Amino acid sequence: MNSLYKNWSGQPQWTQDAFSAPVTDEGHTETSAVYFNNLWLLYHRHRGWQGDPNRTTIGVSTSLDGTNFTFVGDVIRPNDNGVGCLSVNAPKVLVQAGLLTMVYEAVPGTNTPGCPTPAYQTTVAMASSMDGLLWFDQRIVLVAKQPWEGSTISADRQIGNVGTPYIHKAGNHIYIGYHGFSGGTSPPYLQRGVARFNGSDPRQITAVDSSYNNNLVRSTSPVTFLRQNGGAEDRPVFSAGYGAADVIRYIPGSPGTDDGGFYLVLEGYQGSPFCNDPNTSMVIAMARADIPEGPYRIQDKVLLGSFQSPGNPPSSCGRDLPSWQYHNGQYKVILTQPSKFGLQRIALLN
């Protein structure tokens, strides 16, 4: 047994872990922490592009110890290579020998000066880097195509979007997980999808064409989430859907043995998926699958219980947007502070 399986299958046990990153005024910050070329790289949303607090870039902070990070600068900006004219955010990074691959949200302009207004809304984009600082070949790889992803058209635009992606390699395939926000008026509002590339070099994943097709294999249905015993997931805390997520597997050399599982840490929503909605509450949970596409079984006892952040009105934004970090022999989760500003980290007990 390893600590991933132990914390998924039974009572989760974790401790608050020291963490210092210069992400103090961003609010609602997505992260991805990776170790590459003997350096820790923390990619995160960075607010205030060109002095506009509503526009965001993807910045990087670095660390020698994986705990104390220093901001270096922006690495992906709005409209790099014509992608995400308004904002870019929600990075997740795959590490391979000599190569980093990032998936992220690219937000097009909506009546923004200098930006076109396409039929689609937020998309999933991809870029590559050899050193973690200089990124190239930015391109859109996922656009909503199904109603559960938000493809329904109203007033010449899709009503929903895809986003909060993660990227993972298993065998000779690359998998990109993403949310689909239906934009509809009845739950579930948010569901998760997984797209597969039949190859191990993500640089070969092509940009979408005018019909939003490329060489990713996508299911027409969302990922199935079940209770831990395999029954239907019908708990109210997940009734509004599943938000941001990240995936990890057993790391060779870590305590315990490899059980072959794929482990998500993800948001579960009740009431509404929107920030600053008093009806919104959320949990952070772990889910396990035998294969990358699922089905995923959600733990009976969630990692972090139902939460509404302080404020008037309260909201779910804060203590959210989880991502994995394997650090100093422990599986850890980075997420935002309950106040919505800054980051925190918890460590699963082995």
> What predicted TM-score, i.e. pTM, was given to this entire model?
0.96
Give the pLDDT score at 311: 58
Q: What is the pLDDT of residues 105-135, one digit of tens each?
A: 999 987 778 888 999 999 999 999 999 999 9
At residue 339, does pLDDT exceed 60? yes
Ramachandran class of 338: left when φ > 0, alpha when ψ lies in -120 to 50, beta otherwise = alpha
The CA-based angle 135-141-145, given to 5 degrees, is 155
Q: What is the pLDDT of residues 272-287, one digit of tens each?
A: 888 777 788 889 999 9
Average the pLDDT over 198-206 and give the result: 98
HSE (CB half, 13 Å, CA atoms) of 238? 24
Give the pLDDT score at 88: 97
Residue 253 tokens read as 């050399």
Rg of the chain over CA atoms, in angstroms? 19
Give the pLDDT score at 132: 98
Give the pLDDT score at 310: 58
* CA distances to 130, 169, 250 from 200, in Å: 16, 7, 19
Give the pLDDT score at 305: 87
Helix-then-strand count for the chain, H and E:
1, 24
16-30, 161-175, 310-324, range with the lowest pLDDT: 310-324
70-74, 142-146, 279-283, range with the lowest pLDDT: 279-283
At residue 147, does pLDDT exceed 60? yes
Domains and CATH numbers, the chain: 3-348 (2.115.10.20)
At residue 312, does pLDDT exceed 70? no
The CA-based angle 88-105-344, given to 5 degrees, is 85
117 with 108: CB under 8 angstroms? yes
